[in-house]
Amino acid sequence: MPPVQVAQSLVDSYINLTNNALTCFEPLCASLHLTADQQCESADEQCQYEIEYADHGSSLGVLVNDHFPLKLTNGSLAAPRIAFGCGYDHKYSVPNPPPPTAGVLGLGNGEVSIISQLSNMGIVRNVVGHCLSEQGGFLFFGDELIPSSGVAWTSMSSESIENHYSSGPAEVYFGGKAAGIKGLTLVFDSGSSYTYFTSQVYDSVLALVRDDLRGKPLEDAPEDKSLPICWRGSQPFKSLRDVKNYFRPLALHFTKTKNAQIQLPPESYLIVTKYGNVCFGILNGTEVGLGDLNIIGDVSLQDKMVIYDNERRKIGWFSTSCNKFQKEGQSFCEPEGPLSILSGNYYEYIPKIF
C-alpha cells in the first residue's frame, strides 16, 4: 500500500486500548489475518497486525478505532469513526527514522485502508489522491478535485489488488528519445522518499546520465555520502536551479496507454546536498532488498497531482503547483495541515456516526 506520512495530531494523543481496540473476530481484523499463523485463539483477543510496505518499512501493533478528524471541501469538519493501527514496533527503510510524532497512513485498496472504510460508509467514492511539494502538499479523498480534462490515465495492474498501486508496462525515455529500456512494472509509493529501479534498469539509466555529462563541468564527488552517486561543480550548488541545465529529462511512457507519460525533469531525480553537491536521486532497489520492484517515490512525484481511482482501476496524474491547487473554475484553498481535504457529502452520513 502506498502510505503517506501524517502527523499524530490527527488522532487523540493517547488511545485507550480497553475501549478502542478491535477484537479479533471483527470483519476488519479478519481481513488482515489471511494466513494460518495469524489466526486468533479467542473472540475477545485484541486484533494484532503486522504490515510491510513497498519500501520494506514495517509496523507491528494493535488495530483500534476512534473518531478521525477530517476537513471537508466546504470548510466544515468531519469525525467518522475509523479503524487504524496503533503501532508499538516500527522499522524504517531510511537511515534517519521520522520523529515519534509521525506515523504512516495506509492508502491502498484493501478493506482496512482508510479510503476503503470511508467508501464503505458512503462518505466518498473510493478515490484517493495526493499533491506533494518541497513545502509539503496535500491529500484528498473522493473525486471532487479531479479536473475533467488534462489528466493522463493508465490502468492499474493486477498486482495492485490489496498490495501496491502499480501499472505498466512502461518504457524509459531520456532527453525525449526512447532509451531501449522496456517492460517496467512501476509501483507508485508516496511512502518512499526516493525512486528505486532494479539493478539492470538502474545501471542502464545511470549510464545514460553519465554519458551525457561528458564534457560538462561536473566531477564525481565520492566523498559526499549523502547518496551513492554525487557530482560537484566548480562552485557549490545552492539549489537545483544552479545545476538542472546540465542534465536531460527522463520520462516513463506507458506503452499500452496513448499519451500516458510521466515526465521526470532533472529536479524530479536530483538532490542538492548540504555540501553543495548534486546527487542522483534514483537508487538501486535490488541492493536494498526490493527484488524486482521499480518504485516511483516522493522526489519524482513532486508537483504532480497523482490520483488512485480504485473504482475505475486507474492511476492518473498531471503537473501542477502543489503549494496551492486550483479547482476547476475557482480558486481553491491553500492546504492547512497534513490531512486537510476530504471531498464528499458528509452531512448525509452524520446520523450513522453518532
Q: What is the CATH number of the domain that holds 308?
A: 2.40.70.10
Instruction: Give the pLDDT confidence score for residue 31 in this predicted structure.
Output: 78
pLDDT score for 5: 32
Query: Do residues 99 and 156 both lie within one domain?
Result: no
Q: Averaged over 253-271, what is the pLDDT?
A: 92
Opening angle at CA 11, ends 9 and 17, nearest 5: 130
CA distance 164 to 161: 7
Q: Are residues 198 and 271 in the same domain?
A: yes
Cell (9 digits) for 323: 503549494
Does this model's pTM top 0.85? My answer is no
Asked if the model's pLDDT at residue 325 lies above 50, the reply is: yes
Q: Which of 203, 226, 173, 191 is nearest to 301 (CA)?
A: 191
Q: How many domains does one find in the chain?
A: 2
Q: Across the chain, which distance is largest between two alpha carbons, in Å? A: 69
Range of the domain at 279: 152-324
What's the confidence (pLDDT) of residue 84? Answer: 87
Based on the domain organization, do 101 and 163 belong to the same domain? no
Residue 146 lies in a domain: no
Q: Are residues 184 and 58 in the same domain?
A: no
CA atoms of 139 and 107, how far apart (whole Å): 10
The residue to which cell 532497489 is assigned: 285
Instruction: Tell me what pLDDT residue 45 has.
Output: 83
Amino acid letter, residue 46:
Q
- Which one is predicted more confidently, 25 or 340? 25
Q: Considering the domain boundaries, does residue 22 fall inside one?
A: yes
**Confidence at residue 1, expressed as pLDDT on a 0 to 100 scale:** 34
**Strands, E assignment, 191-287:** 195-197, 219-220, 230-232, 250-254, 261-264, 270-272, 278-280, 282-284
Residue 317 has pLDDT above 90, yes or no: yes
Q: Nearest to residue 316, comparing CAs of 157, 185, 152, 158?
A: 152
C-alpha cell at position 36: 494460518
286 part of a folded domain = yes
pLDDT confidence bin for 170, thresholds 50/70/90: very high
Instruction: For 172-207, write each residue's pLDDT tens digit.
Output: 999 999 999 999 999 998 878 899 999 999 999 999
* The C-alpha cell that represents 158 in the structure block: 493486477
Does the pLDDT at position 334 exceed 90?
no
* pLDDT band at 331; cut points 50, 70, 90: very low
Do 183 and 90 have their domain in common? no
The answer to whether residue 270 is domain-embedded is yes
DSSP output for 94-136: SSSPPPTTEEEEE-SSSTTSHHHHHHHTTSS-SEEEEEEETTE
pLDDT, position 339: 38
- Alpha helices by DSSP H, listed for the chain, are 17-20, 27-32, 114-120, 199-212, 298-301, 350-353
Is 80 within the bounds of a domain? yes
Q: Look at residue 199 in the predicted model and tell me its pLDDT.
A: 96
Do 95 and 219 reside in the same domain of the chain? no
86 and 13, same domain (yes or no) = yes
Residues 67 and 170 in one domain: no
Same domain flag for 239 and 93: no
Q: Do 295 and 204 share a structural domain?
A: yes
Judged by DSSP in three states, 39 sits in coil
Q: Is the pLDDT of residue 217 over 90?
A: yes
| pLDDT grade for 160, boundaries at 50, 70 and 90 | low
> Could you tell me which of 257, 298, 250, 249 has the C-alpha nearest to residue 168?
257
Specify if 121 maps to a domain: no
Same structural domain, 305 and 190? yes
Q: Grid coordinates representing 281?
A: 536521486
Residue 35 has pLDDT above 60, yes or no: no
How does the average pLDDT of the chain come out, rounded? 80
Residue 189 included in any domain: yes
CB 195 within 8 A of CB 283: yes
Rounded CA-CA distance 264/18 in Å is 48
Confidence tier at 54 by pLDDT (50, 70, 90)? low
Q: Is 92 exposed, middle or buried (0-12, 13-18, 19+ CB in 10 A)?
A: middle
342 pLDDT higher than 80: no
In a domain, 114, yes or no: no
Q: Note whether 101 and 156 are same-domain residues.
A: no
Helix ranges (H only) for 163-231 are: 199-212
Q: What are phi and psi of 148, to 5 degrees?
A: -80, -15
Q: What is the spatial order of strands in the sheet that 127-133 belongs to?
A: 136-141, 127-133, 304-309, 314-319, 152-155
The amino acid at residue 11 is V
The whole-number pLDDT of residue 172 equals: 96
